[in-house]
Amino acid sequence: MPVWLWRHVKVLVLIDVVAATAATLISQFMAFGLQHADLSVRGATIPYPAAILAVVPTWLAVLATSRCYDVAPFGTSPGEVRRVIGAGTQFLALMAMAYYVVHLEQLGRDFMIAIVPLATGLTLAGRAGARVGLLIQRSRGHAVRRAVVMGPRNNSVRLLDHLAHHPASGIAPVAALVTDDEGALRVNGFEIPVVGRPEDALATIERTGGDLLIVTGSLAPGELRTLTWALEGTGVDVLVAPSVTHLASLIHVRPVAGLPLLYVDTEQVAMRNLTADRAESGQLVTGP
């Protein structure tokens, strides 16, 4: 994963911490105003603001389990809003369970009910701001993935033309691997150098410093599986055109927002490949 993407995830975590903290404090104000209020738990008196120590880590944990930090490969997720709202629902269920299991009957219901929509709304607002910040960075040439495009010339040109019309996608093509030697790929006045053939993919990625491989076609059966296996753990992500996914029956894919491509999760691929290899060698035993 590139450094800028790690930083973006850290920013999301910070936004969520601020959102949960603000939600707790605002809920206290809505429930009790400016007057001092204490919470009694099993004979212990605790100031309501101390609830932040429980609310914040719980909210972060619920967001994490709801895959709200799964923003690879470009820092955004098409299902982000749905996931955050789902996390809010789970958070409400946890609070309701704690209300009865931990015997928090003295905890003001107004205080509890207000936290969930506030935390959810503030989190969504903060993440919207983070997306705007990401777009601003990309307009300046930062926070992008360096892509090597691999496949037939015509397919690659069509893909590059699409990327040229979507500059906010976060993809910066740096080289191409095609099946002929007719020179650089020309798209909208720009030239993408052709540095080899598809079989040179691994060497080209290492030489160009690319962290994204885009496959537009012309892969033999099993080749995509071998390629993703070789790239597992390198930090290089793989995107494939939908027309070639039939060559990879064992891969795990998910759509990429705004692009006619599918994202290959190399960690899932590696796990599936390992399971398949063990099954073929007789090391994996299933059933009694």
Predicted pLDDT of residue 219: 72
pTM of the full structure: 0.80
The Cα–Cα gap between 114 and 26 comes to 8
More confident residue, 33 or 194: 194
The token duo for 250 is 């064992």
Confidence of residue 9 (pLDDT cuts 50, 70, 90): very high
Confidence of residue 228 (pLDDT cuts 50, 70, 90): confident
The string of pLDDT tens digits covering residues 198-224 is 888 999 999 999 999 999 876 776 787
The Cα–Cα gap between 159 and 215 comes to 10
Predicted pLDDT of residue 132: 95
State yes or no: pLDDT of 177 exceeds 60. yes
Which DSSP category does 263 fall into?
E
Predicted pLDDT of residue 287: 40
State yes or no: pLDDT of 122 exceeds 90. yes
> 177 with 183: CB under 8 angstroms?
no
> What SS3 state is found at 17?
helix
Predicted pLDDT of residue 253: 56
Predicted pLDDT of residue 250: 46
State yes or no: pLDDT of 34 exceeds 90. no
CA dist list (Å): 154 to 76, 145, 201, 241, 262: 29, 22, 18, 13, 19
Mean residue pLDDT across the chain? 81
> 243 with 262: CB under 8 angstroms?
no
The CA dihedral of 55, 58, 59, 62, to the nearest 10 degrees, is: -160
- Quick one: how far is CA 135 from the chain centroid? 16
Residue 30 backbone dihedrals phi, psi, to 5 degrees = -65, -35
The string of pLDDT tens digits covering residues 262-278 is 777 666 656 665 665 55
